[in-house]
């Protein structure tokens, strides 16, 4: 890739277990875009994924960073102009 635009993307992996018959049973992890460290937000995202009624506990978190690239030509093809001050798309 001769001319490329790169970006580092962060994802939060939330490891979750559920209390079942007095013991912890591991459940599918929850992946959320961005780097989340706030305990309330972590639990909110966990409940969204596994349901409010689930008796779940967060057993750990991991921030995963991945560097991604796209060719300049593809970037120009798929991107849309945004207003530099407001960060919103132009309607042109």
pLDDT given for residue 85 in this prediction: 76
Given a cut of 80, whether residue 88 has pLDDT beyond it is no
Position 92 in a domain: no
- 41-45 — which CB contacts under 8 Å span 24+ positions? 42/12, 42/14, 45/12, 45/14
Given a cut of 50, whether residue 76 has pLDDT beyond it is yes
Position 16 in a domain: yes
Distance between alpha carbon 30 and the CA centroid of its chain, in Å? Answer: 9
Given a cut of 60, whether residue 87 has pLDDT beyond it is no
The range of the structural domain enclosing residue 62 comes to 4-69
pLDDT given for residue 52 in this prediction: 84
Structural domain total, the chain: 1
Position 29 in a domain: yes
Task: For residue 87, give every residue at least 6 positions away whose Cβ sits within 8 Å of its Cβ, in sequence order, or none.
Answer: none
Q: Which tokens hold the place of 41?
A: 């937000």
> Mind listing the pLDDT tens digit for each residue in 14-72?
999 998 888 999 999 999 999 999 999 999 999 999 988 778 999 999 999 999 999 99
DSSP string of 8-70, one letter each residue: EEEEEEEEEEEEETTEEEE---EEEES----HHHHHHHHHHHH-TTS-EEEEEEEEEEEEEEE
């Amino acid at each position: 890739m001769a001319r490329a635009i790169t970006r580092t993307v962060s994802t939060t992996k939330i490891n979750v277990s559920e209390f079942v018959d007095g013991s912890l049973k591991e459940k599918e992890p929850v992946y959320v875009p961005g780097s989340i460290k706030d305990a309330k937000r972590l639990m909110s995202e966990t409940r969204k994924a596994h349901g409010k009624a689930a008796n779940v506990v967060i057993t750990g978190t991991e921030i995963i960073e991945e560097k991604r690239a796209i060719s300049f030509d593809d970037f120009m093809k798929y991107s849309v102009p945004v207003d530099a001050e407001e960060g919103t798309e132009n309607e042109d």
